Amino acid sequence: MVSLLGRTDSASPAATQSTQQMAANPGAGLMGPEQDPDKLFLSEAENLEVLEYKWVLEGIEDRLIAKFAS
């Protein structure tokens, strides 16, 4: 199909550029050169602990009873 569009090589320019960048910087992973996955995980875990969540259906039984009882 690629040859129908006039291209004879199998790699797209974006894929070639990405491969060249990874080869130029072998220490860089998908998350970047300086990022530690353990630190990222701990940071996200802390963010979730700080998050205050309020359930929308909290006390729904009481609200429905009050609404339909009157």
Is the pTM higher than 0.75? The answer reads no
**What are the tens digits of pLDDT across the range 28-68?**
555 556 788 898 899 888 888 777 778 899 999 999 999 99
**Domain ranges, ordered by start, for the chain:** 3-69
Q: pLDDT higher for 40 or 20? A: 40
Taken as a whole, the chain contains a residue count of 70
Q: What pLDDT is recorded for position 62?
A: 95
**Measuring CA to CA, which residue among 54, 34, 50 is closest to residue 42?**
50
